Amino acid sequence: MLASQTDLKAPRLFGTDGIRAKAGEFPLDGRTIGAIGESLARHVAADTGRTPRFLVGRDTRESGDWIERAFCSGVHAGGGRCETAGVITTPGVAYITGKFGFDGGVVFSASHNPFEDNGIKIFSPSGKKVAGELERRIEADIHTADSETGVAAMDEIEVPENGLQYRSAYLDGLAEGFRGLDLSGVKIAIDCANGAASELAPALFRRFGAELVVIHAEPNGRNINQNCGSLHLEHLQKAVADTGADAGVAFDGDADRALFVNEKGEVMDGDATLWILAKYMHEHGELGKRTVVATVMSNLGLERALESQGIELVRTAVGDKYVLDELLRTGSELGGEQSGHIIFPARSLVGDGMATALSIFRVLGERGGSFSDLAAGFIRYPQTLVNVRVREKRPFDEVPEIAAAAAGIENELNGTGRLLLRYSGTENLARVMIEGEDQATIDEQANRLASVIGSALG
């Protein structure tokens, strides 16, 4: 039984991308997962006044099945019901949740992490990740739970699976958004990361007539993201070179991000993707706010390139959650991260790697020529990043020697570069990032500032 009163000062378990941990360890042990499901069901039932229905889906990790059953047993204990879409992408769950009238959608995935990890992401019927008070109430319930929900009952729970129906509906929805796209004669290499896109991505791109070279699409529960996918683009680069592909795209484990390789084998990261899509949307009257939202990590070259087109780059903290919040606040039409999370709020409130890929391939198909030509006008500034281990995370401007050193480097850059100082959100690390016109110069500046930080806080 969960506590009837919740303590909203309970320790945080939800990060910017849900709950994530090693599978089997708190908070992803069976008892706690059951408590999360029970808590969610009870709160949604109280808010809606009806028996809540939840759609659940998972990536290809071997822990996904038992985590799903533990969660659904908790939902049943809380008076709710679950249906499973089986193995499906994170944006697929967000889409189906709204289309089929579920009260919430839940994904069991740890995105780009290794198979030992897993996570829980919860979506509202709007397709947006839940946040705020509901997360805090679930956290409080977890810390006060005294039942064994999810452990004793999870093998007895029957979860109806309409996976094929839901996965087909998701692909139909994606295809409908790109009606008329013809990729006949285009050869595309796809790295599915042995994850959730392994069946879905090839099926989707074949609908448009593309010739495919598919790698890392044989998941075994343990090989998700293992030397493949968006964190290991060298395999995609080789596949493009070996097969003469026109383009390559790599997904992460839950396919909410996509990174590209052009016909020369060069990596096209999220900044290059934003540049290509921003130009296209601007030319087609689809960028009404003349604004692109990205994070503080996006390259200065993207900002300069967009300025040349009369488009403003608005920066947020790192995390697709913050990008989405700014998109919704400003009514802007395009945003994303260097990592390949690209968000089109008119289409979806979550990054969708397959939708991003179709968007890029649409530009390629309409423009003709080579993929590398699409990025013309975007000149990446040299960038360096140095991490410094610290004993405490004091505000940098409150440490005189750090503030003075940072101000000195800002003067040296004199508007031709950018300095970003921030702390890691998960480790005792200070991060020094500098962009400028000369790699050797910014390397020296970053190491100099890192030394000051290490002396003061290390």
Measured CA to CA in angstroms, residue 106 lies from 220, 358, 389 at distances of 22, 25, 35
β 291-295/211-215 pair status: unpaired
Point out the catalytic residue in the list 111, 124, 198, 230.
111
CB 348 within 8 A of CB 95: yes
Peptide bond into 114 cis (omega under 30): no
Cis geometry, peptide bond prior to residue 27 (ω within 30 degrees of 0): yes
d(CA 307, CA 301): 10
Phi, psi torsion values for 271, nearest 5 degrees: -65, -45
Whether the CA torsion 31, 34, 38, 39 is positive or negative: it is positive
The tokens of 308 are what? 């040349």
| CA dist., res. 399 & res. 432, Å (int) | 15
Structural tokens at position 135: 């997360």
CA 235 to chain centre: 21
Residue 111 annotated in active site: yes
Q: Which amino acid, one-letter code, is at 17?
A: D
Would you please indicate which residues are annotated as catalytic (active-site) residues? Answer: 111
